Structure 1
Amino acid sequence: MANNHSEAEKVEAYTRALLDAARGEGRANADLVQWQHAKKFSPEVLETLAAMQKEDDLGLIDEVSKQYKELLDNEDKTVSVTVTTAVPMDDELRAKVKAKAEKDLNAPVYLVERVDPSIIGGIMLEQRGKRYDASIRAQLSNIRKKLSSSFNGGEE
């Protein structure tokens, strides 16, 4: 029950913040219409908007939209590859990862870099709907599963 109460408080806080900001800008009804459409946004759109907001780049939305359409219309063969590492990549590693990905995919590559300390080390690559996880976290998880199955199913 406490969880529902906490969720209700969050909903009210978000709602009041949105409404107060919208009223302050004189666009409460317009923001309501936008909010009703927001649930239609894909996670990629929401993530990109959040990144643009964080970098104070929301003024680039029109340009990003135009370039997105141009790239799509031109059937750009560039593959977006998301690279997650525990610490930021240096230029040398970035070049190696890009060269390897371009060779493997036989296409130009655009790297999207993410830093996630929880992977401990190693690297995770995501491209064309596929994920390759060579992180320390994944390796430790695999070791844990093997040890668990060995002790649970092995001889004593």
Structure 2
Amino acid sequence: MSGSKRAEAEKVEAYTRALLEAAHSEGRANADLVQWQHARKFTPEVLETLAAMQREDDLGLLDQVAKRYKELLDAQDTTVSVTVTTAVPMDDSLRSKVRSKAEADLKSPVYLVERVDPAIIGGIMLEVRGKRYDASVRAQLANIRKTLSSTFIEGEEK
């Protein structure tokens, strides 16, 4: 084994043993292994930011930083996610109409997330920016049932 390979192997061993020893002392060896496997996916920017936060003893701000990051990212992206639920899969024609109508109403590009739910019987449900617009047959039947039951109950009381 060459000198550089041996030095690299020694570094790997030292890092691994330090990590394992710390994990065992905290009783989380398996959890640390899972985290370590995900850590290799981190970009250098994420690793540098985490290291800076660690140095400044600011790891308690992780959730707030993640939330603010998403807010800033969302502010830059004008595409609106619209979840469309239908009783059967949409064909290209309906998909195009839904997208065109949503883009016109929202004045933004739209990303459609399509869901199929036979329980809605027919019609369509849209979820946009946390609001639900329900034009399903199931909702219409529920409204009819509510109207009829309130009319019937009120009619008997009079």
TM-score normalized by the length of structure 1 = 0.55
Q: By how many angstroms is 1:29 displaced?
A: 1.7
Q: Is the alpha carbon distance of 1:73 and 1:104 closer, same or farther for their aligned partners in structure 2, counting shifts above 3 Å?
A: closer
Q: C-alpha separation between the residues in 1 aligned to 2:154 and 2:119? A: 30
Q: By how many angstroms is 1:154 displaced?
A: 1.7
Structure 1, unmatched stretches of 5+, are: 1-26, 35-60, 63-67
Q: By how many angstroms is 1:30 displaced?
A: 2.1
Q: C-alpha separation between the residues in 2 aligned to 1:122 and 1:138? A: 9
Structure 2 counterparts to residues 1-156 of structure 1, below 5 A: 29-30=30-31, 72=73, 75-154=76-155
Q: C-alpha separation between the residues in 2 aligned to 1:90 and 1:32? A: 45
When Rg is computed on C-alpha atoms for both structures, the one with the higher figure is 2
Q: C-alpha separation between the residues in 1 aligned to 2:127 and 2:108? A: 15
Deviations 1:97-136, CA, capped at 9 Å, x for gaps: 0000000001000000000000000000000111100000
Q: By how many angstroms is 1:32 displaced?
A: 9.5
Q: C-alpha separation between the residues in 1 aligned to 2:123 and 2:29? A: 47
Structure 2, unmatched stretches of 5+, are: 1-27, 36-40, 43-68
Q: Is the alpha carbon distance of 1:124 and 1:31 closer, same or farther for their aligned partners in structure 2, counting shifts above 3 Å?
A: farther
Q: Indicate the SS of the match to 1:87.
A: coil
TM-score normalized by the length of structure 2 = 0.55
**Matching residue's letter, 2:145:** R
